[in-house]
Structure 1
Amino acid sequence: MYDMALFVGYSIYLSAILLPPLKLFQALLAFSIVLFTVQLSKVFGIILFNRLIDRYRRNIIRAPQTIGLCYFFLALIPSYSQIGLWSFIVFWVLRLIQGGAFGFELGFTINYSNMNFSQTNKRFIYYFILLSGEMGALVSILFNRLLVDHGMSVYMFDLFWRLQFLTGGLFVLVNLIFRVKHRQIMNNYSKFSRSSFFYTLKHNWRYILLRSLIISLHVCLIVTVIFRVPNFLHLAMGFSYARINVILLIVTVLGFIGANFARILAFFFSPIKLMKIFYILVALFSLLWMMLDGNKHYYVLWVYIAGFVYGVFVRLTPMVLYRVVDFDVHNRLTGRYLGNIFAYSVFGSLAVLCLDLSRVYTHNFHNYAPEIIILVVSILGFIALKIYTKHFTQI
């Protein structure tokens, strides 16, 4: 998720370096397509890892090596002014290779977590996967909002996203050092986890899909509020970067308030009932907002409300999806991991793609695409939660 967060953040810089002949909304769509295909390659990498588990266990540092090399190559690739459209093609190919390697790492994490660890360790890994998405969002804000000044030159754009690739490579280097140091421990994963993984995909795909849809609302709120709205505020409404940073700071505070508000309500009401109520409220609010043409005069208010709702769902999601007792499910842990991964990787990147596709279709950055996405995902989340609590949980 850190990788996804940074990619969505710096794609506006890449558009000026790798695809300068295109208009901005066209270039952003091109990079959204890259993002979506890379996330699909991660899913392919997870499946491929479980098929090649015997080979991979001989050299468990191969995937992080590939990820690190791709990061460093991406930081060094020539720009459009040097080799033309080939710069974008090379970028796409490197990202696809890197996405597959990320999938291997995710598959390794899922397999490793299914070993006979204590409940505390399994809970730690679950929350690590869940919260990594939120950390990715915060890092994206730090890199792409607070450090950006209005009027940056193309040279600074170029330097800035290359610096972010190098930062990603350094993170991988730290991972490699740890992996080599604990090589013997990390080799102790089993064939049982592989067979369990494919059994889970075959028999529990409904369970995984439902959990993904339940999580998808707050994932889409991350995308629409943190990754895309700041750019559109600046491009469509002429807001300065200083004002956008203030808006995002207020959104962060409102998210914190929303999370604590949900926690207080959970003392008096069931978290599952609260989540259903908020799904309905979000859907009704989105529909009413579009009917009243709220974006025309109160667009920033929508951003604030979305930040508050994001905080509510960030708090309710683990309360609902981790504390419930699942039944009629084989290997709940793998299903829960895959549900989170699919929600962030597939549905999150699909939301970005839909946002940018709407800009190309309407030739307008200032439309109701975010509200439509939130409306659809809210309805799907409510339906998924109803089915999930009926067939897979004991309350």
Structure 2
Amino acid sequence: MPPLSSSAVPAPRPLTRSDYKTLSLSALGGALEFYDFIIFVFFAAVIGKLFFPADMPEWLRQMQTFGIFAAGYLARPLGGIVMAHFGDLLGRKRMFTLSIFLMAVPTLIMGLLPTYAQIGVWAPLLLLVLRLIQGAAIGGEVPGAWVFVSEHVPARHVGYACGTLTSGLTTGILLGSLMATLINTLYPPQEVLDWAWRLPFLVGGVFGLLSVYLRRWLHETPVFAELQQRKALAAEVPLKTVVRDHQPAILLSMLLTWLLSACIVVLILLTPNVLQTAYGFAAADTLKANSLAIVCLSFGCIGAGILADRIGAARVFIFGSLALALVTWTFYTQLTAHPEWLYGLYALTGLCVGMIGAVPYVMVRAFPASVRFSGLSFSYNLAYAIFGGLTPMAVGLLLKWSPLGPAYYVIALCGLGLCIGLYLRQTETRTPALA
């Protein structure tokens, strides 16, 4: 694995007002796009009742509903690779804007879709098509956003930029949770079933289109503009170059994506259900604690990015992995005896999960600028499709064996994070650049 830098560092400069505007608009758009992608799961039960036959067995209805949700994940690699290909050849900004457009429009249409009772089998089929489009969009948005912000800011602030963007993505999950809570609080179950379930999709679509408009004010990244000027864009299909010449960077990025995706899936998405079924906590308490953990996670991502800029990603992963392992073990072993610790321990766990904010800092520096979008998108989406799907099954099997199953899985991940940190300690340079 070569050093993660590939050229001389430009003259240091502070973050400018333009940089902060770019980060703000990018993080806002990322939050809204992640909200649009995730809101489906919060209303899966209602969607299952409305978009499948009423006489269908409940287990089959749930399986097909979550199958449509999972279809979005299956579309991520293809969408990400295609959008990254054109992002490396035509420009980051165009694909960055296209991705949120492809997310907002299907979300808006979902809020207007006729149900099974109105158009029969066409209802779930149209829903499936819209989820596939959303999956393709999110596959291009996340790696594209990391590349976009990292190429806009000075090299010594790349960690902060990527951490801020990642914080925005996690905030999108929080927005989805809060919207679901609000809808189910304001409206009785029958009204939610009749029409109120459409509101989160309509709101997400409208604000998504607003974000498309706001992204018009963003500029192409200086790194890509320089590549165009020097006629140094990829001479062949970017993905071909990535697969042929950058296998170590692909492996590193896939392992980092495993760390990122599994921490989010286990500790943020699956843990509330585990707390209710295995530990006996009330649903209201677990959701409130989960929201607090997501807030702490968002701040943790920014903090990890800042630390990566100042002390290097290697130390962030080494100390962050050790801290997360300790906190996770305490969280799962002490809650039975000390249920009053739920909020404090879950908040601390979310903060420690924030070390994943250093993941994109490493990934954007692992590939040269001419194929950066393709390299990052291919590695990230392929790994997410694999590990994002296998992690829930692995945790489910571990839970059958022990209620501490999620803790064992996360601690094993922390071992991976520690190994990555030790590896990076051997390869990091003090003068990285993105050009």
Q: Any idea what SS the aligned residue of 1:142 has?
A: helix
Contact residue 36 and residue 353 of structure 1 kept, 8 A: no
Partners of 1:230 and 1:178 lie apart in 2 by: 35
After superposition, the C-alpha distances for 1:213-254 in whole angstroms (9 at most, x for unaligned) are 336445434333443443555567775554334434654676
- Quickly say closer, same or farther: Cα 1:259–1:356, change in 2 above 3 A: closer
Instruction: Please give the alpha-carbon distance, in whole angstroms, between the structure 1 residues aligned to 2:120 and 2:189.
Output: 20
2:144 touches 2:373 (CA, 8 Å); kept in 1?
A: no
Amino acid at match of 1:100: A
Correspondent of 1:38 among 72, 75, 79: 72
TM-score by length of 2: 0.64
Please tell me whether the aligned partners of residues 223 and 348 of structure 1 are also in contact (alpha carbons under 8 angstroms).
no
Q: Indicate if the aligned counterparts of 2:143 and 2:380 stay in contact, CA closer than 8 A.
A: no
Alpha-carbon distance change, 96 to 289 in structure 1, aligned in 2, over 3 angstroms: same
What residue in structure 2 maps to residue 276 of structure 1? 318
* 233 and 155 in structure 1: CA distance in 2 versus 1, 3 angstrom threshold: farther
Give a deviation string over 1:266-291, Cα, whole Å, max 9, x none: 9x99873463255356557767988x
Distance 1:159 1:276, change over 3 A: farther
The partner residue of 1:330 within 340, 365, 368 is: 368
Please name the residue that 2:81 is paired with: 47
Deviations 1:54-113, CA, capped at 9 Å, x for gaps: 9988x9776655444322321122334445555333312221123224445567657766
Q: Judging changes above 3 Å, is the alpha-carbon distance between structure 1 residues 229 and 155 closer, same or farther for their aligned structure 2 residues?
A: farther
Judge conservation of contact 1:80–1:87 (CA < 8 Å) in 2: yes
Give % identity. 18
Determine the structure 2 residue equivalent to 1:18. 51
- What's the CA shift for 1:379? 3.1
Q: CA 1:377–1:181 in 2, change beyond 3 Å: closer, same or farther?
A: closer
Distance 2:404 2:186 in 1: 26
**Structure 1 residue identity aligned to 2:115:** S
Q: 1:157 to 1:301 in 2, by over 3 A?
A: farther
**For structure 1, which runs of at least 5 residues remain unmatched after alignment?**
none
Q: Distance in 2 between matches of 1:99 and 1:324?
A: 21
Instruction: Give me the whole-angstrom Cα distance separating, in 1, the residues matched to 2:383 and 2:340.
Output: 25
1:99 aligns with 2:145: no
* Residue pairs, 1:46-65, within 5 angstroms: 46-51=80-85, 65=101
Q: Does 1:89 align with 2:125?
A: yes
Answering whether residue 111 of structure 2 is matched by residue 75 of structure 1, we say yes
Contact 1:113 1:122 survives alignment (8 Å): no
What aligned pairs does 1:188-227 form with structure 2 within 5 A after superposition? 192-193=232-233, 197-198=238-239, 199-214=241-256, 216-217=258-259, 219-227=261-269
User: Which residue does the alignment assign to 1:311?
Assistant: 351
Judging changes above 3 Å, is the alpha-carbon distance between structure 1 residues 297 and 121 closer, same or farther for their aligned structure 2 residues? closer
Give the Cα separation in 2 of the matches to 1:244 and 1:304: 12
Give yes or no for the alignment of 1:5 onto 2:47.
Answer: no
Distance in 2 (CA, whole Å) between partners of 1:113 and 1:265 is 17
Contact 1:148 1:241 in 2 (8 A): no
Is residue 119 from structure 1 mapped to residue 154 from structure 2 by the alignment? yes
2:28 match: none
Contact 2:85–2:373 at 8 Å: present in 1 too? no
> Where does the alignment leave 5 or more consecutive residues of structure 2 unmatched?
1-33, 431-435
Tell me the distance in 2 between the aligned counterparts of 1:110 and 1:98: 19
The answer on whether the counterparts of 2:166 and 2:301 sit within 8 Å (CA) in structure 1 is: no
Letter in 2 for 1:41: A
**2:42 maps to amino acid:** G
Among residues 413, 420, 432, which one is paired with 1:377 in the alignment? Answer: 413
Match of 1:177 among 213, 217, 226: 213
In the alignment, the residues of structure 1 paired with residue 221 and residue 424 of structure 2 have an alpha-carbon distance, to the nearest angstrom, of 36
2:425 is the alignment partner of 1:389: yes
Give the letter for the 1:203 counterpart.
D
For the pair 1:144 / 2:180, whether they are aligned, the reply is yes
Q: 1:163 to 1:14 in 2, by over 3 A?
A: same
Relative distance call for 1:65 and 1:287 in structure 2 (3 A) is closer
Between the aligned partners of 2:301 and 2:79, the Cα distance in structure 1 is 34
Aligned: 1:164 with 2:164? no
State the shift of 1:142 in Å.
Answer: 1.5
Rounded Cα–Cα distance in structure 2 between residues aligned with 1:168 and 1:300: 35
1:238-253 equivalent positions in 2, closer than 5 A: 240-248=282-290, 251=293
TM-score, normalization: structure 1? 0.69
Alpha-carbon distance, 1:139 to partner? 0.9
Question: Aligned partner of 2:285: which letter?
Answer: R
Q: Give the Cα separation in 2 of the matches to 1:32 and 1:100.
A: 17
C-alpha deviation, 1:173, in angstroms: 1.6
Give the counterpart letter for 1:37 in structure 2.
Answer: A
